[in-house]
Structure 1
């Protein structure tokens, strides 16, 4: 199978996937400039041919649309071609993929999970180099104390915040209005 790529509409805009014989080699979040998504995908995957997604990739497209519509799908079983990333990044991405929708993790927590507690900056670089945003949910990775950290995909932190909002992620330990409503509600008798 040769490499292929396709763009597809989602609730947040035009996304893209690129695939090869060993799985997905790339994913792309929307770009605000018309035509830029296609250009960027072609630059990142010059050997890929634009084509209709094969059935297994079409299932990923459908699942991404479900996730971006507010359904809970961790996409953890989507096959990725890890040959396109360094071994350190693969370890980082495997930890990030285990974070379910609606939850978050910090760069420092990932560093500890891979046995390199001082590597939070390197984790941030790996996240910035992530070839599979959404599937490797770099938007769920936050800085210390729930700070957003960076987000190198088009739209930057606004896109990150939008995706976390869709997933109803809690980004700090501070109670939300929903939490307060139930913690102060009067108890009713039987």
Structure 2
């Protein structure tokens, strides 16, 4: 079997890293305290050594960078290898991967969608072990009643909220400042 390789790539949230085997991404590491720490942690997770990404992996890094720059990029084209992830986790990742940029779901909604209603906590645990964050956008999964829920990346919930903000996602059902406004006004028109 081919040995995994890894590379750093810069994003709006900091230096991320990914590892691949062949043309499939096997791991993504969100920013740590430094680029070196990010790459080292990824290496510990999957034994990857730095390398030059093949074209499909380089395209994946460009797409993830664009997504974190606020572009509504669909990452479903990225080939991932989830290794020996259990069937339950694979089902969670599949549903999570289908959440579009700027949208969110709750842990409970995912549990219900995969046929395990009432297993929101298990969904959260599976997402806490997500090997490919950003590609499987676990940051788009929230707790019930508008609670943000946890996030296992460096920076925790603050990182999750930053990623959601970059995607212009709503994180609660509370009305926004301009909700219900009748915009735009025509030139010279006055709202009464």
Instruction: Return the alpha-carbon distance in structure 2 between the equivalents of residues 88 and 145 of structure 1.
Output: 24
CA contact (8 A) 2:23 2:56 kept: no
After superposition, residues 22-61 of structure 1 pair within 5 angstroms as 23-33=24-34, 35-46=36-47, 48-61=48-61
Q: CA deviation at 1:2?
A: 3.3
Describe the shift of the 1:34–1:99 C-alpha distance in structure 2 as closer, same or farther (beyond 3 A). closer
What SS is found at the alignment partner of 2:8?
strand
Q: How many residues align?
A: 187
Instruction: Return the alpha-carbon distance in structure 1 between the equivalents of residues 184 and 147 of structure 2.
Output: 28
Partner residue in 1 for 2:76: 76
CA RMSD of aligned residues (A): 2.0
Q: Which runs of 4+ in 1 moved over 2 A?
A: 32-35, 178-186
Q: CA deviation at 1:77?
A: 2.1
Instruction: Return the alpha-carbon distance in structure 2 between the equivalents of residues 180 and 162 of structure 1.
Output: 26
Q: Deviations over 1:27-63 (max 9, x none)?
A: 01111245211210110111x2211111100000100
Which moves more between the two structures, 35-44 or 95-104?
35-44
What SS is found at the alignment partner of 1:40?
helix
Q: Deviations over 1:156-183 (max 9, x none)?
A: 1010000000000011222112324337
Which moves more between the two structures, 63-72 or 14-23?
14-23
Higher helix share: 1
Stretches of structure 2 lacking an aligned partner (at least 5 in a row): none
TM-score (norm 1): 0.91
After superposition, residues 87-106 of structure 1 pair within 5 angstroms as 87-106=87-106
Partner residue in 1 for 2:119: 119
CA contact (8 A) 2:8 2:35 kept: no
Q: CA deviation at 1:5?
A: 0.7
CA contact (8 A) 1:22 1:81 kept: no
Q: CA deviation at 1:99?
A: 0.5
Stretches of structure 1 lacking an aligned partner (at least 5 in a row): none
Describe the shift of the 1:175–1:136 C-alpha distance in structure 2 as closer, same or farther (beyond 3 A). same
